[in-house]
Amino acid sequence: MGRKVFISILGYSNYGACYYIQHSKKFKSKKVRYIQEATLDYLTQIEKWGKTDVAYVLLTNGAEEKNWQDNGHVNRLGEIIEQTGLETQLKEMKLLFPVVPIKGLPNGNNEKEIWQIFERVFELIKDGDELYFDLTHSFRYLPMLILVLGNYAKFLKGVKVKSITYGNYEARNRETEEADMIDLYPLSDLQDWTFAAASFLKNGNASLLKSLCDRDLKPVLKEAKGRNINATTLKRYMTALENIISDMNTCRGVAILKGENMKDLWNCSSQLTDVIIEPLKPVIGKIKTSFAGFVPSPDVKNGYIAAKWCLEHQLYQQALTILHENIISHVCDSEGWNIQDFKYRSVVSESFNIYNNKIKREDWKVCDEVQLSLIEKALSNFLLQKLASSFIVTTSLRNDYNHSGMRSNPATKQRIIFQLKERIGIVFSILDELCL
């Protein structure tokens, strides 16, 4: 388990004192000038912090002089206002963990200085840390910078953003002198959902979506004990989605053609009267659009649609493999042959070879009369003849791809993608022509 790390920005205004309230946790601070006091008091009450944890306070030179040190402000007459700085206040809290000032930060007046702040803060974070941000006292751009930095660190350092707080002093109740301590964590959570949705839409990766969905559903399912139909249906929906993606990632042709996982997805979709996880609502519509055309029942056309789907999501090897094998499956299916039977698949493959290379009958490599009869039947198959050129092209591309281009004249990556896209287009034109 990583450290708990509190990161806060201290400004240089002469802050007024108030009581900070966190309503959901029924917390009320003592009367303080610095939000950092209230926030650390709040955080150490709701979770256990120890000596291996740390609090960082980010300081420009102005903030250090005015608010970190004691007596940093003067009145209109130029007289020193006697009041303790944040350093003194935090020492009086007797926290179990060190408070480390990060001094000399630039003001962030230009892009170079903003990057300097980003780099210095990023260097403070270690792999696996749990981050607790306070965004109250900062320039207007810094909250955005902190949000981006937190998201950046999630992927590069495996951290977790646990809390983002903001003390809304300006909107305080002037009679009670109470100000809300607002939880901005949903902004970080929304960034996670945004990345997960983008990962699915661009690369067909649903693992992040499912992980976030499982996380948010867990407390709902536990509380409902199976009585929340929308929660249980959504869980089944995400499982079906994961199975569909897994079938295509691992080129499970039989499962793709059967369409059983797609049927599960459609059934769950029709039963889902309310998507109870807000960030997932717009994604559900995108998922439906993404899988438009798939048939939720056994259909050889599902293989071609899967190949196209993989191409659109940059899964080129999967697209090529599924397309190539589905051409064989399609011919087998048209003859009423078992698409999983190696005997028939090898006959179709050999028939494509004979047809494309115009091999004379006396040169056919056949084992017996049964195989000879099957090849003759396959060669007269109209579908085989229409798909012959696509089969030979995908055979060459697949060999090139699967052997890592270790051949005398390997195709370029651009050529592989171009020809794959071209062949998928040709195959769908043939399907349209044959009204399949």
pLDDT of residue 411: 92
**CB count, 10 Å around CB of 207?**
13
pLDDT at residue 211, as a whole number: 93
**pLDDT tens per residue, range 221-240:** 888 887 889 999 999 999 99
User: How far is residue 63's CA from residue 222's CA, in Å, rounded to a whole number?
Assistant: 47
Distance CA 271, CA 347 (A): 44
pLDDT, mean of residues 320-345: 97
Is 90 exceeded by the pLDDT of residue 380?
yes
Q: How confident is the model at residue 140 (pLDDT cuts 50, 70, 90)?
A: low
pLDDT band at 85 (very low <50, low <70, confident <90, very high): very high
CA 250 to chain centre: 20
Residue 139 has pLDDT above 70, yes or no: no
Q: What is the pLDDT of residue 434?
A: 86
Tokens of 117: 């702040």
Task: Supply the DSSP string of 282-351, one letter for each residue.
Answer: HHHHHHHHHTTT--SSS-THHHHHHHHHHHHTT-HHHHHHHHHHHHHHHHHHHTT--TT-HHHHHHHHHH
**Strands 27-28, 80-81: pairing kind:** unpaired
Please say whether the beta carbons of 325 and 425 come within 8 A.
Answer: no
CA 436, CA 434: separation in Å to the nearest integer? 5
C-alpha 77 chain-centroid distance: 57
What average pLDDT is seen over the chain?
93
DSSP state string for 349-408: HHHHHHHHHT--GGG---SSHHHHHHHHHHHT-HHHHHHHHHHHHHHHHHHHHHTTT-SS
* Structure tokens given for 17: 């004192």
Tens-place pLDDT, residues 272-312? 889 999 999 999 999 999 999 999 999 999 999 999 999 99
